[in-house]
Structure 1
């Protein structure tokens, strides 16, 4: 008996093989997934833990929060002394409050990075060994939404093959969960599925489900799977459309979940790979060199009260169904409606129920990609900003442990910090302007001969500025030191000098990009405060530049603000201009930097000279190389951008399979006809050939057509192009 058969659980046969002509999905195995209440929680319902050997990480928390609080207190005292020269005015008090809000944020991050730095430097946690057997079944699910099919199907095939190579592949089933709204992409997904099943053979259990309506977006997509099929699986590994995970990582997660009955979610640390543009390679280098220190510090202090980032993690399915049904927030979007940043809330709810949520930062083999340009990351962050600001309503929910509330506060502050930083800069400029040009009116209530001038302690101010910069940059220095002490990382990143020069370049780029992102995030926050919903557009995955006109439109206000700030600062004080020079330079260069950020040629040129090189870039993980090769092979079939209607019309066998994949037609009352279906019927009735249908039917009408067997029949009866049609 081979290893696969030996390790397969007894109920493995419940999920039938999925050959090319097998049903799209296995038989349903339902779980009840009730909507949770944020305003009510009975502590008596919290489950009793099976294992009580896990103690609170009190030392890490003491260093992180005690150190952050002490550093914030010192900063508050020093800033008070800076402004306490000649009396404190109202604007000075505002400046102090804004400084505290921003400084406390970076002080806490600094203290957490100290914990991660010391832990990595002296403990050096080892990755878990690969298990020899598994006793449970795991679903590996990949939600997709208008993605390039060749990329996601090639990636999943590479992951599938790597898991099979461990000898434990019989314990896993594979699911594409499509929320695609583009009809041509939907058809391309099904064609890619059939190609994938044909390559893997009839023993492969690879399935595909397309939702007619993408209710609640990704959270609703995964929730639909759990409610309908989750009962067949003890746990599920959730991937993103750009995820890659090695077989070792996936089977190790499954083994860790089996060994820990208290675990609800176990999160990995995904590394960024496959990036070539300037901006993406800056992010890739930063995540690889600084990310482990930050993630390890986070893992140390949060212990088993951790967070979930929505992908590259394993989840206990029954616990997720019982406790993670997301409620709708009161009110309309952007603050109300369905929860967009669902992952934080799911972690909070499953932890509230008594399950543990934690990270395995030492487990390698978990990868993702990043947006290729500054504009792309700004578009993604707009959606993330809305989701994190929604957490203001979730923050006071009943029954949450305090680390969970800290995770919410961290996510909120990640975006609110930008308008606070902008406000701090503006108040600082106003104070200098008052001191230089405006007649003082700062007499106290007691009679004095002289007014209270808005003055500062320049020497103490310089010292505080230096300390603030040191605290801000320390996590990068810690990451650099850890990388220098790790021989494989050091050698694969260009050696000592390569790492140092790459770090300096990354710090320079980050300093120039920071004021642009400050303005972008501040704009997002204001946009949401004024009630505008961000929507949910698919993310660009490929390298490539944004049209220059779009870049100019996006950043022209930033450039104008930069020039205004420069002129104003020079008129007020040359020293003020010098102090603001990094911010001013970033804004003035915003168009150029945004253009350069998306240039693949610049990123590749830096790689040739040895800058921003990562170990995974120099020695690509085999699974990444395999995924890229498979994606290229699938793309060569030409289905990614083919017309879906022609595919259904020209290939009767595929058309029959597509209709077999469709769910049973819902009951429709007489007269209940959507405008899209009515228009599709009218246009199909008037069409003489398939060319007419292809040219006339719009996107929503096409979606109505390919979901309706009756309309598909009308389409397939149309003559081919150029065929004679009787009058």
Structure 2
């Protein structure tokens, strides 16, 4: 029986008494802070690099420019009837920005379709089928986690670990759980699950960071500085990541064959959708994602981007090139860099390293937030991080494609307020034409009065053309599904694939205006100086009380009603013209309730190949999760440590690596916890008196924790001992 399918229930239920070492011996690697003001010398000489990517980029840019010119020219013809007013000029500028954005995506998708149609080939010679290559390098598998459910997160890691072992190259991989968790109960639960998994094999390590400075980027940096010298490559996982051993080995082998490659990014497939909203995202990603990814990979070539997870990175290159400085100023624009992945990719490329995407490599999986509110919460953090990139755009030595990545990331969010402003300006123009008397005697000589006027027929054609640019890439993706039998059957057949495309397009049309409001609000909050903080990512079943749904979707609903009313004040034709946007906003609450609903594992609508024929590794995740210690809200973490000597041992071993407190520096939370412990007569009182933050402080202080667990259990036992 192979390692992917063999049971580990007995090992988890009856672990050996040995206490595994939470961390290996340290192997420090310097990670100097980089400068954006001056470019360092290149680590890799790219003077002899292939120039074949230049014509591809020229083709993409020329196609985008030509298409943008046609669209903007037609829009100008729509507006110039009777002269272009100030409001019409604003509409034209906003339309130009939005249309150019859509045009670039359309041209890139055409390239992706053509590339996949003739068969994908890249510069890495990354063979996705056939015998597995032999890997000789040491690879670190890094799983950063922050207040996630340990039972599920570590089950994903264990399934990936077993799959790597099954390849025969498992000895080349070491596995690190890098915890930034602040909830003391989750911290104790992580250590319980680690103990259970450590009993099933070697090379699994756990590290809890006392100071989670710089969030995920700081978490990875801490590992590099302490252990990086022992490893050739590292593969970064997310809390919802699963990867097959086949994919891991092929990635490592590709890095070995190409010593000038610093990073290879996979295309994760979305799986395990449990709500209609998540299923819509899963279907869209599975059907359209390959076309989009192949397109950008075709013309980005060795200047591809990094998405922060499910990617392999050369440790030496990462350490030498990507030490991130704090941005000047206050949050939200200053401080630690949130969207660190784009910046790390740009700095690797600045030093000469090649960065590639592997859009056709199978065996890379992730999940998506279950509801639109959860998606918007994650989007808010990404929005702040991407807007920070405006300060990095002028950095010295960056490749122009890296700067384009930054601009694309910024544009992904500022297009929302641009679209909203475009809609509002259009309504204002119509209201002006309806209610404001034209200026019959302008100051400048004119034979005719000046008032807003447009060409409605040409406007309809411009609208139809814009919708075509958005829909045609979806139809091209559908064609690729239909012409390949295995893929077509994976989507449940041609009819179900087409029906899924129609349903996804209609639902995305309803949810897009709501996301426009959420993203516009996020941009406005960030510009006004509001920091997003570090919120827990929800990955549950999407159950949200109706009161919360109504409260959070009230703003989009009110804006939709206001837009509908304004359009009706002008004319019924304008109202029908605005219907695609207004309908999504007015129906925001019922659509949210609908998309929050759970769906079956094998749905009749919106199926994907991973639903109809689940990869074995995903079933293995569920099996492992059922055998790991379940999270218990009622169990206090201090009680868990006191009652389990092995858990206490492993926790203490981890604390020995925590940096000692600096002389003269007092943590107020630790000081308050110490004062209450001094007053307490027994362990029971300590548990009752300390709040969550104080319990975390005690769990992070070796001396305090030893005092607490050594105390009498109750007041009665304390009196008896005296």
TM-score (norm. length: structure 1): 0.93
1:425-464 equivalences under 5 Å are: 425-441=423-439, 444-464=442-462
Confirm whether residue 662 of structure 1 aligns to residue 659 of structure 2: no
In the alignment, the residues of structure 2 paired with residue 406 and residue 267 of structure 1 have an alpha-carbon distance, to the nearest angstrom, of: 18
Tell me how large the CA RMSD over aligned residues is. Answer: 2.0
Q: 1:679: Cα distance to partner? A: 2.0
More divergent stretch after superposition (183-192 vs 545-554) = 545-554
Q: 1:723: Cα distance to partner? A: 4.7
In the alignment, the residues of structure 2 paired with residue 120 and residue 84 of structure 1 have an alpha-carbon distance, to the nearest angstrom, of: 42
Per the alignment, residue 78 of structure 1 pairs with 74
1:149-298 equivalences under 5 Å are: 149-198=150-199, 200-201=200-201, 204-298=202-296
Per the alignment, residue 147 of structure 2 pairs with 146
Per the alignment, residue 12 of structure 1 pairs with none
Please say if residues 562 and 584 of structure 1, whose CA atoms lie closer than 8 Å, have aligned partners that are also in contact.
yes
Q: 1:112: Cα distance to partner? A: 0.1
Please say if residues 184 and 641 of structure 1, whose CA atoms lie closer than 8 Å, have aligned partners that are also in contact.
no
Per the alignment, residue 584 of structure 1 pairs with 582
Among residues 610, 617, 622, which one is paired with 2:611 in the alignment? Answer: 617
In the alignment, the residues of structure 1 paired with residue 532 and residue 312 of structure 2 have an alpha-carbon distance, to the nearest angstrom, of: 29
Aligned length: 702
Gaps of 5+ in 2: 4-15, 122-126
Q: 1:656: Cα distance to partner? A: 2.5
Gaps of 5+ in 1: 5-17
1:491-514 CA-to-partner distances (Å, cap 9, x unmatched) read 121211101111100000000000
Distance 1:212 1:442, change over 3 A: farther
In the alignment, the residues of structure 2 paired with residue 666 and residue 483 of structure 1 have an alpha-carbon distance, to the nearest angstrom, of: 54
Distance 1:563 1:638, change over 3 A: closer
In the alignment, the residues of structure 2 paired with residue 313 and residue 511 of structure 1 have an alpha-carbon distance, to the nearest angstrom, of: 32
Distance 1:141 1:19, change over 3 A: farther
In the alignment, the residues of structure 2 paired with residue 536 and residue 660 of structure 1 have an alpha-carbon distance, to the nearest angstrom, of: 28
Q: 1:663: Cα distance to partner? A: 2.6
Q: Secondary structure at the match of 1:264?
A: strand
Please say if residues 519 and 558 of structure 1, whose CA atoms lie closer than 8 Å, have aligned partners that are also in contact.
yes
Q: 1:123: Cα distance to partner? A: 2.1
Distance 1:666 1:231, change over 3 A: closer
In the alignment, the residues of structure 1 paired with residue 658 and residue 523 of structure 2 have an alpha-carbon distance, to the nearest angstrom, of: 43
Please say if residues 63 and 115 of structure 1, whose CA atoms lie closer than 8 Å, have aligned partners that are also in contact.
no
In the alignment, the residues of structure 1 paired with residue 606 and residue 618 of structure 2 have an alpha-carbon distance, to the nearest angstrom, of: 19
Please say if residues 128 and 252 of structure 1, whose CA atoms lie closer than 8 Å, have aligned partners that are also in contact.
no
Please say if residues 210 and 658 of structure 2, whose CA atoms lie closer than 8 Å, have aligned partners that are also in contact.
no
Among residues 481, 486, 494, which one is paired with 1:488 in the alignment? Answer: 486
1:466-477 equivalences under 5 Å are: 466-477=464-475
In the alignment, the residues of structure 2 paired with residue 378 and residue 484 of structure 1 have an alpha-carbon distance, to the nearest angstrom, of: 33
In the alignment, the residues of structure 1 paired with residue 113 and residue 168 of structure 2 have an alpha-carbon distance, to the nearest angstrom, of: 36
Per the alignment, residue 693 of structure 2 pairs with 700
1:304-323 equivalences under 5 Å are: 304-323=302-321
Q: Secondary structure at the match of 2:356?
A: strand
In the alignment, the residues of structure 1 paired with residue 156 and residue 634 of structure 2 have an alpha-carbon distance, to the nearest angstrom, of: 18
In the alignment, the residues of structure 2 paired with residue 589 and residue 539 of structure 1 have an alpha-carbon distance, to the nearest angstrom, of: 26
Per the alignment, residue 684 of structure 1 pairs with 677
Please say if residues 22 and 650 of structure 2, whose CA atoms lie closer than 8 Å, have aligned partners that are also in contact.
no
Among residues 47, 66, 87, which one is paired with 1:91 in the alignment? Answer: 87
Per the alignment, residue 10 of structure 2 pairs with none
In the alignment, the residues of structure 2 paired with residue 443 and residue 652 of structure 1 have an alpha-carbon distance, to the nearest angstrom, of: 91
In the alignment, the residues of structure 2 paired with residue 63 and residue 530 of structure 1 have an alpha-carbon distance, to the nearest angstrom, of: 40
Distance 1:558 1:23, change over 3 A: same
1:159-207 CA-to-partner distances (Å, cap 9, x unmatched) read 1110111000111111011111111111111111110011x23xx1000
In the alignment, the residues of structure 1 paired with residue 315 and residue 74 of structure 2 have an alpha-carbon distance, to the nearest angstrom, of: 51
1:63-142 equivalences under 5 Å are: 63-125=59-121, 127=128, 129-142=130-143
Q: 1:638: Cα distance to partner? A: 4.5
